[in-house]
Amino acid sequence: MMEQSGRRQVAPARSFFQPGLRMRYAGLLLLVWSWVLVPAGHAQEQVFLTPEEALAEVFPKGRYVQYDTLRFTSEELEEARRALRRTEPLDSMLVVRRVYNAEGRFLGYAVITEELGKYRPITFIVGVRPDFSVEKVAVMVYRESHGGQIRLPRFLYQYRGKTLQDPIQTHRDIVNISGATISVNSLNRGVRKVLYFVTTYYRKHPPTLTYRPN
């Protein structure tokens, strides 16, 4: 997948009165003013990966996908909140993608989830190996005005191999990013949440380890 680096190309200077440029510069001024007038915390939504691209990012060799919709009782959710030490409510439903390669061998689980950043939710995918350790994490949509560095591979690589036995906490086993602490903590919570539900459910209900398409 091609990613935009965020760098801007600077065109050679041309006269404002050159034919066709006046309207373009007027539109640019309006765009700049729209940025200035946007309230703090309401940054433009940045979409980095579609669901299909995200799935290929965490499991590049994936070929077949089976979907499980997990539904949890209020008692199970309360138990999860205590285990995860969360005060906010948890969703009662989780969609899990079971991923298989071209030979039908089980590669792992993939979950697209969201966690609230400073103002708005962050959407990301967590790939989990069959042994319930993290394969990879990728940020799909970022909506905050600051902290977008959390999508960089050198930061996300820290989650690789993490399990429920790991703290997954800033300043313990996750190195923080200056200016993005809230977003880092949001990803920490989301990764632990996915690990908790995938681990606790599939240990009791093991998936089919091979898949044969019809």
Strands (E), the chain: 46-47, 64-71, 93-100, 106-116, 121-128, 134-142
- The helix/strand/coil state of 82 is helix
The confidence score (pLDDT) of residue 38 equals: 45
The confidence score (pLDDT) of residue 27 equals: 42
The confidence score (pLDDT) of residue 44 equals: 77
The confidence score (pLDDT) of residue 8 equals: 28
- The helices-and-strands tally (H runs, E runs) of the chain is 5, 6
The confidence score (pLDDT) of residue 134 equals: 98
- Distance from C-alpha of 95 to C-alpha of 99, rounded to nearest angstrom: 13
Report the candidate in 90, 69, 95 with the shortest Cα–Cα distance to residue 79. 90
Starting from the edge strand earliest in sequence, which strands make up the sheet with 134-142, in order? 46-47, 134-142, 121-128, 106-116, 93-100, 64-71
Predicted confidence (pLDDT) per residue in 109-151, tens digit: 999 999 999 999 999 999 999 999 999 999 999 999 989 999 9
The confidence score (pLDDT) of residue 143 equals: 96
The confidence score (pLDDT) of residue 157 equals: 98
Which residue positions in the chain have pLDDT lower than 50?
A: 1-38, 40
The confidence score (pLDDT) of residue 122 equals: 97
Chain mean pLDDT for the chain: 84
User: How many other β-carbons are positioned within 10 Å of the β-carbon of residue 211?
Assistant: 18
